[in-house]
Amino acid sequence: MLTPFLSACELRQAAGAGAAAATVSRCLPGERGYLRMSLRGAINAEIDARGSTLGCEGGERPDGRGLRLSFAVPALAGVPALRIVFGLDAAPRRNAAGPLPTNLTLIAEGKQRLYATQGEEHCSIEGLDQQAVGTAGEYRVAARGSCIDPATTLDGAERLYVNRFDFAGLASFAPEEPGHVAAN
């Protein structure tokens, strides 16, 4: 759901159309998974995606330094399907207080545009909560944060301002080694 001004019927239709476009896995059941953010500039939208309309996945960054969470939001009301990726400078399975440096990348799939903060100094997480869920190695990762600089296209021609964001998504981590004590 990108805007609270759509009818329930329009939301169901958009969710069905967006499900085919989303290539990330399921998110958390019910309302436990969500993404809220305000976009201004190259894209103007109030995003409030949750439940079955939201795809999410996450885990450790490929370089092993921190976390990566990805969210897929279906196209609605003139806003293209979006994939939003947060790269957090935080340890897996551990809660943390901020500020935690965060990189933000947003892909407007229908417009074939990529916006990125191109560095972790432009956004930060104020608080990070990681809770184990059902399956071994799966965690609900929730955070809130803000950006002080816009995400831009790689050539710098377009700007996308993201003031505040809140999310909760699903991350999968490799099992911890036996005898390792998790510290929160």
Could you read off the pLDDT of 143-156 as tens digits, one per residue? 999 999 999 998 98
CB-based contacts of 179, cutoff 8 Å, min separation 6: none
Which of residues 33 and 136 earns the better pLDDT score? 33
179 falls within a domain:
no
CB 141 within 8 A of CB 28: no
How many structural domains are present in the chain?
1
Which structural domain range is residue 133 located in? 8-172
C-alpha torsion angle, residues 82, 142, 174, 179 (rounded to 10): 170
Identify the sign of the CA torsion 174, 144, 29, 132.
Answer: positive
pLDDT at 2 over 70: no
Tens digits of per-residue pLDDT, 48-106?
A: 998 888 999 999 988 888 999 999 999 887 889 999 999 998 888 888 887 999 999 99
The predicted pLDDT at position 15 comes to 36
Q: Would you say 96 and 48 are in contact if contact means Cβ atoms under 8 Å apart?
A: no
Q: How confident is the model at residue 179 (pLDDT cuts 50, 70, 90)?
A: low
Q: Does the pLDDT of residue 182 top 70, yes or no?
A: no
Write down the pTM of the prediction.
Answer: 0.80
Q: Average pLDDT for residues 127-142, to the nearest whole number?
A: 89
Residue 65 lies in a domain: yes
Would you say residue 112 lies in a domain?
yes
